Amino acid sequence: MPDVRAIDYAGSERLTMNMGPQHPSAHGVFRAILTLEGETVVGVDAVIGYLHRCHEKLAETLAYVQYPTIASKTDYVAAMSSELAYVMAAEQIAKVEVPKRAQYLRVLVGELQRIASHCLWLGTWCMDMGGALGGGATIFLYCIRERELVLDLFEALVGARLLYGFHQVGGVRYDLPEGWTDLCRRTIDLIDSRVDEYEHMLADNPFFDMRTKGVGVISRELAQDVGISGPLLRGSGVDFDLRRAYPYSSYEDFEFRVPVETAGDCYARYHVRMVEFRQSARIVRQVLDGLPEGPISSRPGVKSLAQVKVPKGEAYARVEGPRGEVGCYLVADGSNKPYRMKWRGASFSNLSVLPHILVGASVADVVAIMGSVDPVFGEVDR
Amino acid sequence: MTPERARELLATVAGVTVAATPTAPIVAQVLTEHWLDAARYVKATLGCTYFSFLTAIDWKADGLEIVVWVDNLDAKLSVQLRTRLGADQTTCASIVPVYRGANWMERECFDMFGVQFVGHPDPRRILLADDWQGHPLLKSYAVDTPHPPYR
C-alpha cells in the first residue's frame, strides 16, 4: 500500500481513498483504490475476488445434471441466463435436440429475467445517485415493487424466487402451471405502464441529466477492445446483440428492436436499458401468443448422475443476458463431468473497463459510472 | 471479410495452422513464439476487434494450452486462437498490447494456472488473495488441498 497521503512538489495533495470493499454503491463486495487530486480521480486500482467460489473448479467435480443449479449462483440477479449458457454448451457438444416448446419457454424466462434485472439496476442506480432524483429511494422502491411481480411469476413456475434450476440438458424442468399465462400477461402490461412512469420521473430532470450526460464515456473502440457487452456495448454505438446476430433458442421467431446509442455515456446506457424493458415485454407477449404444444424436454427428468454423458469435444455457448454476453466454454472428455469449464461473465468484462474510464472523473461520478455498468459480483468473481 | 477469406489469410501467417475443414469459429493453432504476432494479425487484418475471452486448459502431461476468442462483430466472424505451451512450460507472451481486455483475463489465467505472461503491465493475482499458494485450476491441485488460514 502506498502512503495514505503523499505531497508532491507542486504543492497539491494526493489522497488515496479506499472505496469499498463495503461501499453501498458497489452492490456487492468491490474495492476501488482511488488516487485523488481534490475531487478528481487520477488513478484507479480495482480489487475484486472477494466473492470468489471457484465455480470453474467446482464444475469439474459436478456432473452435467448437477451443475445447472449451481450455475445460477454466478449471476444471481439473472440466474436464468447463466443456467442457459451452461446447458446450451453441453447440448452443443452432445448434439441434443431441444423441443420447440422448451426453446420458447427458455426465451420467456430469459426475457422476464431481463425485466427483473433491469428493475433492480434502475432502482439501485437511482438510489446511488441520491437525493437529486426526487428523494432517491422513491424509484428504488417502485422498481423493487415491480421486480417482485416478476419474481412471483418465477415462484409460481419453479418454486424459487432467486436461484431457479429451471434449465436442464435437453430442455426445461417445469411447464407453465394453470393460469400462469394470464397472470404473466397482466404483469407485463402493468410493468410496461410503470416503465413509462419511471421515464417520466427522470425525463428532463436537470439533476439526472447533469449526473449522467457526458459522464463515463466509453468509446466505440475501447468498448470492443476491452470486450464489454450488452447495454454498455450498444450504448457505445456498436449495433450488436447475440439474440439477433447468433439467434439461439428460436430467437429468430420473434420481432424486437435492438436499441443503439452513440454517446457512450451513462445516459446512453440508461436509454438502451429503458428500450430493452419494452422490447423484452414485447418478446414475452409474442412467446405467450405463439407457444407451441409439445414436450418440454427431450430427456427424462434427472434420475441419476450418469444420466447425461457428453462425448469428447468442446463448445462455447453464449447468451445475451441482461448484462451482456454470458459465455460458457466447455471442454468435455466423454464422462459425465466437464474436463474444463470457463465462465465468461458479462460483469467481469464490463467491470474491467472501469480503470479506463474513471480517470478524470470526480468521486461522485464514480458512483454514477459504477451503477451504469451494472456489475453483479457473483458473476465478476465466480 | 468472409470466413473463407479469413481462413485463407490465416493459413498464410507464420506459425499458424488452420484446420483443414471449415469450422465455426475458425480455430487457429499458433506456435507460442508467434503468439503476439498472430493476435496482431487477427485484429488488424481480419478485423477481429472484439475481445471475448482468454483462458487456459490443463492437458496434464501435455502441458497447458491458452485459448483466446475474438470476434469481428460486423462480419459475424469468430476466431479462436490456441497455443500449446509445452510440457512444464508456463511462459507465454502477453497480448495486452493488442487487446486491452486481456489484462484482467491474463491476470486470472496466472492466478488459476500459473501462466507467466511476458510483457503484462500488471502481473498480479486477481481473484485469489495475494498470499495464496498454488494455482487451483491446475489438474494437479486437488479440490481439498489445504491452504494456510486467512490473515
CA–CA min distance A229, chain B (Å)? 9
Tell me if chain B has a CB within 8 Å of the CB of A245: yes
- DSSP one-letter string for A96-109: ----HHHHHHHHHH
Domains of chain A by range and CATH?
Answer: 13-381 (1.10.645.10)
Share of chain A above pLDDT 90, in %: 41
The per-residue pLDDT of chain A, averaged, comes to 87
Tell me if chain A has a CB within 8 Å of the CB of B69: yes
What is the predicted pLDDT for the residue at A131? 59
The arrangement of secondary structure in B3-118, i.e. its CATH architecture, is 2-Layer Sandwich (3.30)
Q: Which residue of B has its CA nearest to A30?
A: B127
Distance CA A91, CA A60 (A): 17
Nearest to B39 by CA among B93, B76, B3: B93
Q: Under 8 Å CB-to-CB from A180, ≥6 apart: which residues?
A: A153, A156, A157
Lowest mean pLDDT among A167-181, A292-306, B56-70: A292-306
The per-residue pLDDT of chain B, averaged, comes to 87
Interface touch A227/B53, C-beta < 8 Å = yes
CB-based contacts of A101-104 (< 8 A; 24+ apart in sequence): A101/A291, A101/A292, A101/A293, A101/A294, A101/A295, A101/A296, A102/A170, A102/A171, A102/A172, A102/A295, A102/A296, A102/A297, A102/A298, A103/A249, A103/A250, A104/A250, A104/A253, A104/A287, A104/A290, A104/A291, A104/A292
Paired with A342 in beta bridges are A329
Tell me if chain A has a CB within 8 Å of the CB of B76: yes
ipTM of the complex: 0.87
Structural contact between residues A321 and A78, judged by C-beta atoms closer than 8 angstroms:
yes
What is the predicted pLDDT for the residue at A363? 87
What is the predicted pLDDT for the residue at B145? 77
Structure confidence by residue, pLDDT tens digits, A210-259: 888 888 899 999 999 999 999 999 999 999 999 999 999 889 999 999 99
pTM of the model: 0.88
Stretch A169-175: mean pLDDT: 89
Structure confidence by residue, pLDDT tens digits, B6-54: 888 888 887 888 877 777 788 888 988 899 999 999 999 888 899 999 9
Reduced to 3 states (helix: H, G, I; strand: E, B; else coil), residue A49 is: coil
Distance CA B142, CA A190 (A): 51
Angle, vertex CA A177, rays to CA A113 and CA A299, nearest 5: 80
Tell me if chain B has a CB within 8 Å of the CB of A349: yes
Distance CA B37, CA B19 (A): 19
CB-CB neighbors (< 8 A) of A377 in chain B: none
> Of all helices (H) and strands (E), which one includes residue B114?
none
Cell of A123: 432502482
Please state the three-class secondary structure of B46-59 as a single string. Answer: CCCCEEEEEEEEEC
Distance CA A118, CA A230 (A): 12
Distance CA A108, CA A287 (A): 6
Is a pLDDT exceeding 80 seen at residue A41? yes
Q: Measure CB to CB from residue A344 to each of B50, B52, B143 and give the nearest one.
A: B52
Is a pLDDT exceeding 50 seen at residue A4? no
What is the predicted pLDDT for the residue at A3? 54
Angle, vertex CA A154, rays to CA A258 and CA A149, nearest 5: 80
Cell of A37: 487530486
What is the predicted pLDDT for the residue at A197? 86
Interface touch B136/A54, C-beta < 8 Å = yes
CA–CA min distance B48, chain A (Å)? 9
Please name the amino acid found at residue B144: D
Distance CA A59, CA A220 (A): 35
Cell of B61: 502431461
CB-CB neighbors (< 8 A) of B126 in chain A: 48-49
Tell me if chain A has a CB within 8 Å of the CB of B123: no
CB-CB neighbors (< 8 A) of A48 in chain B: 126-127
Tell me if chain B has a CB within 8 Å of the CB of A124: no
B151: confidence class by pLDDT, cuts 50, 70, 90: low
What is the predicted pLDDT for the residue at A133? 62
Instruction: Report which of residues B22 and A359 the model is more confident about.
Output: A359
Count contacts between A and B (CB, < 8 Å).
75
CA–CA min distance A102, chain B (Å)? 25
Q: Where are the domains of chain B?
A: 3-118
Please give the C-alpha separations between residue A348 and each of A1, A47, A142, in angstroms, as whole numbers: 24, 12, 28
Reduced to 3 states (helix: H, G, I; strand: E, B; else coil), residue A87 is: helix
Tell me if chain B has a CB within 8 Å of the CB of A336: no
Largest CA distance in chain B: 55
Q: Which residue of B has its CA nearest to A223?
A: B50
Q: Measure CB to CB from residue A329 to each of B55, B58, B101 and give the nearest one.
A: B55
Interface touch A48/B126, C-beta < 8 Å = yes
CA-only gyration radius of chain B, Å: 16
Cβ neighbours, 10 Å, residue A80: 27
Sign, CA dihedral A230-A232-A234-A237, equals: negative
Distance CA A90, CA A113 (A): 22
Distance CA B58, CA A267 (A): 43
Residue position matching grid coordinates 451443475: A67
Lowest mean pLDDT among A82-86, A197-201, A244-248, B1-5: B1-5
Is a pLDDT exceeding 70 seen at residue A10? no
Structure confidence by residue, pLDDT tens digits, A115-141: 999 999 988 888 888 755 655 678 888
Is a pLDDT exceeding 80 seen at residue A9? no
What is the predicted pLDDT for the residue at A1? 46
Is a pLDDT exceeding 80 seen at residue A340? yes
Stretch A61-80: mean pLDDT: 89
